[in-house]
């Protein structure tokens, strides 16, 4: 069997909230002026109340609304593959599974949270959502989700990706949304950056600032973030919960889970449902977050309070960060060019419950080409980071003649 499918009726009906099981709960976000924990009133100009509740919830499971479940069925459940081709090439004591989120309407895991966020906004009467996008995946996902609920959508796309990926703009437009290259001259935040550096390639931090600035100006317009925040990570746990069922059918449990980390949502989505077993003392599963060496917040950043965006519009978040003014190099893995890591992933890393690894771009691309030839799926530059890490580990195990390790990694398609 090459892949393990589930039926639509097997799609989990609840998201998993790891906060319930964390030994050290995440520190609260702070209001940058008062240095006091932010309350719902600080967040309500940007987010609908239901998402604010989820952001601070300590409930272990949160029910997925029926309408969200219905839309999930367009691409869920997603297949879990056995990487038979890669295993053969590596010839090491490893069994490798990969959860493939590339079959979604935008080609990544992003619609898992986009649909949920659009749903809650619609419930609360929001007419328009503004967002940013790095590699274009999140912008496509949100424009798809907004089309499903009849909500308008504007996307600020990091300029380097906007230029590298013109077809992403076409996809977003096809779903009826508008796209602007960021930094733009439509916002004060954008104009400030352009004044300093007219050729700025942009960054997620800048694009977030632009989107927030516009969203905050109109009461019927909200903001949506594609990663980092607790509620985003929550929605992504559908990935890991499905994978858990699939591995159960296969009779396996992973020793190591590997996923790339940009803001933290695909990593958390895949890893948290398995990490739960470790937090409960029932497993020693290693969860490895892989970041680009050019944007190494987990391995070389500091755990501190920092802004989530470049202009300093967001609350202060307790996280591993390179500083909100960090300018990541214009590498191809646009989805990993973010200065910070989600609060939940940061706390778990600080507590030694997850691991981090930073890899060079060329090693990752070589891994992606190898994977494409072996598995027939050309993975995205972001996903290549997870593949490169599993290849590294497999080579290490081969040398040491270790006992077989079971790997679960995250993969999406290149386009």
Least distance in angstroms from the C-beta of 380 to a copy of itself: 12
Least distance in angstroms from the C-beta of 32 to a copy of itself: 38
Instruction: CB nearer to a copy of itself: give 74 or 402.
Output: 74
Q: Which residue, chain included where needed, has tokens 């490169």?
A: 388
Q: Which two tokens stand for residue 315?
A: 């609350």
Least distance in angstroms from the C-beta of 263 to a copy of itself: 24
Instruction: CB nearer to a copy of itself: give 140 or 405.
Output: 140
For residue 122, report the phi and psi dihedrals to the nearest 5 degrees.
-60, -40
Longest dimension (CA), the chain: 61
Query: How far apart, in whole angstroms, are the C-alpha atoms of residue 330 and residue 325?
Result: 15
The answer to the question of residue 2 lying near a copy of itself (CB under 8 A) is yes
What are the distances in angstroms from CA 172 to CA 59, 102, 128? Answer: 35, 17, 15
Q: Which two tokens stand for residue 29?
A: 């976000």
Query: How far apart, in whole angstroms, are the C-alpha atoms of residue 106 and residue 75?
Result: 10
| Count of Cβ atoms closer than 10 Å to residue 32 Cβ | 14
The answer to the question of residue 373 lying near a copy of itself (CB under 8 A) is yes
Among positions 3, 25, 191, 400, the unique one binding a copy of itself when judged by CB under 8 A: 3
Query: How far apart, in whole angstroms, are the C-alpha atoms of residue 97 and residue 108?
Result: 17
Instruction: CB nearer to a copy of itself: give 144 or 223.
Output: 144
The answer to the question of residue 397 lying near a copy of itself (CB under 8 A) is no
Site for a copy of itself in 334-363 (CB under 8 A): none
Residues 6-45, one symbol each (x = binds a copy of itself by CB under 8 A, - = not), give -xx-------------------------------------
For residue 4, report the phi and psi dihedrals to the nearest 5 degrees.
-115, 110
Site for a copy of itself in 129-148 (CB under 8 A): 144, 147-148
3-state secondary structure of 47: coil
DSSP secondary structure letter of residue 37? B
Question: Residue 264 — left, alpha, or beta (φ > 0 → left; ψ -120 to 50 → alpha)?
Answer: left
Residues 89-128, one symbol each (x = binds a copy of itself by CB under 8 A, - = not), give --------------x-x-x---x-----------------
The answer to the question of residue 65 lying near a copy of itself (CB under 8 A) is no
Least distance in angstroms from the C-beta of 1 to a copy of itself: 6
Among positions 160, 207, 287, 377, the unique one binding a copy of itself when judged by CB under 8 A: 377
Instruction: CB nearer to a copy of itself: give 133 or 357.
Output: 133
Total residues contacting a copy of itself by CB under 8 A comes to: 34
3-state secondary structure of 413: strand
Least distance in angstroms from the C-beta of 365 to a copy of itself: 9
Least distance in angstroms from the C-beta of 199 to a copy of itself: 23
Strand (E) or helix (H) holding 206: helix 204-215
Least distance in angstroms from the C-beta of 124 to a copy of itself: 22
Instruction: CB nearer to a copy of itself: give 42 or 366.
Output: 366
Among positions 44, 378, 395, 397, the unique one binding a copy of itself when judged by CB under 8 A: 378
The arrangement of strands across the sheet holding 152-158 comes to 178-182, 152-158, 128-133, 221-224
For residue 143, report the phi and psi dihedrals to the nearest 5 degrees.
-65, -40
Least distance in angstroms from the C-beta of 134 to a copy of itself: 18
Among positions 154, 375, 382, 393, the unique one binding a copy of itself when judged by CB under 8 A: 375
Query: How far apart, in whole angstroms, are the C-alpha atoms of residue 308 and residue 315?
Result: 7
3-state secondary structure of 292: strand
Least distance in angstroms from the C-beta of 218 to a copy of itself: 24
Instruction: CB nearer to a copy of itself: give 20 or 147.
Output: 147
Instruction: CB nearer to a copy of itself: give 80 or 287.
Output: 80
Question: Residue 125 — left, alpha, or beta (φ > 0 → left; ψ -120 to 50 → alpha)?
Answer: left
Of 215, 222, 322, whose CA–CA distance to 262 is shortest? 322
The answer to the question of residue 195 lying near a copy of itself (CB under 8 A) is no
> Do residues 54 and 116 make contact, with C-beta atoms less than 8 angstroms apart?
no
Residues 154-183, one symbol each (x = binds a copy of itself by CB under 8 A, - = not), give -------------x---x--xxx-------
Query: How far apart, in whole angstroms, are the C-alpha atoms of residue 378 and residue 372?
Result: 5
The residue count for the chain: 415
| Count of Cβ atoms closer than 10 Å to residue 191 Cβ | 13
Interacting residue ranges for a copy of itself, rule: CB under 8 A: 1-3, 5, 7-8, 70-71, 73-75, 81, 103, 105, 107, 111, 144, 147-148, 167, 171, 174-176, 368-369, 372-373, 375-378, 414-415
């Amino acid at each position: 069997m090459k892949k393990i499918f589930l039926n639509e009726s097997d799609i989990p009906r609840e998201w998993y909230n790891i906060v319930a099981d964390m030994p050290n709960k995440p520190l609260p976000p702070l209001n940058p002026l008062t240095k006091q924990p932010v309350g719902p009133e600080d967040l309500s100009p940007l987010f609908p109340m239901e998402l604010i509740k989820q952001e601070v919830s300590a409930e272990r499971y949160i029910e997925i609304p029926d309408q969200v479940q219905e839309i999930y069925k367009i691409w869920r459940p997603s297949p879990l593959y056995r990487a038979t081709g890669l295993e053969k090439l590596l010839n090491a004591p490893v069994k490798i599974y990969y959860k493939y989120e590339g079959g979604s309407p935008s080609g990544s895991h992003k619609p898992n949270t986009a649909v949920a966020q659009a749903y809650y906004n619609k419930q609360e009467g929001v007419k328009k959502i503004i967002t940013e996008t790095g590699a274009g995946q999140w912008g496509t996902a949100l424009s798809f989700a907004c089309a499903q609920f009849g909500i308008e959508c504007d996307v600020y796309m990091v300029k380097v990706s906007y230029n590298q990926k013109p077809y992403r703009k076409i996809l977003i437009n096809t779903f009826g949304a508008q796209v602007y290259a960021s930094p733009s001259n439509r916002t004060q935040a954008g104009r400030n950056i352009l004044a300093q550096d007219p050729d700025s390639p942009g960054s997620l931090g800048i694009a977030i600032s632009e989107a927030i600035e516009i969203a905050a100006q109109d009461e019927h317009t909200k903001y949506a973030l594609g990663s980092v925040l607790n509620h985003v990570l929550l929605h992504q746990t559908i990935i890991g919960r499905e994978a858990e069922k699939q591995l159960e059918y296969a009779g396996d449990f992973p020793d190591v889970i590997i996923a790339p980390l940009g803001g933290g949502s695909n990593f958390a989505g895949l890893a948290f449902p398995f990490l739960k077993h470790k937090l409960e003392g029932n497993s020693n599963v290693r969860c490895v977050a892989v970041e680009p060496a050019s944007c190494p917040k987990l391995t070389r950043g500091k755990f501190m309070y920092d802004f989530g965006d470049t202009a300093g519009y967001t609350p202060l978040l307790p996280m591993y960060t390179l500083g909100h003014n960090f300018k990541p190099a214009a590498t191809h893995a646009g989805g990993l060019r973010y200065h910070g890591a989600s609060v939940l992933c940061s706390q778990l890393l600080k507590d030694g419950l997850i691991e981090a690894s930073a890899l060079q771009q060329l090693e990752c691309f070589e891994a992606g080409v190898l994977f494409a030839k072996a598995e027939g799926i050309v993975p995205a530059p972001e996903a290549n980071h997870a593949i490169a890490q599993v290849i590294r580990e497999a080579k290490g195990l081969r040398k040491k003649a270790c006992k077989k390790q079971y790997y679960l990694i995250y993969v999406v398609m290149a386009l």
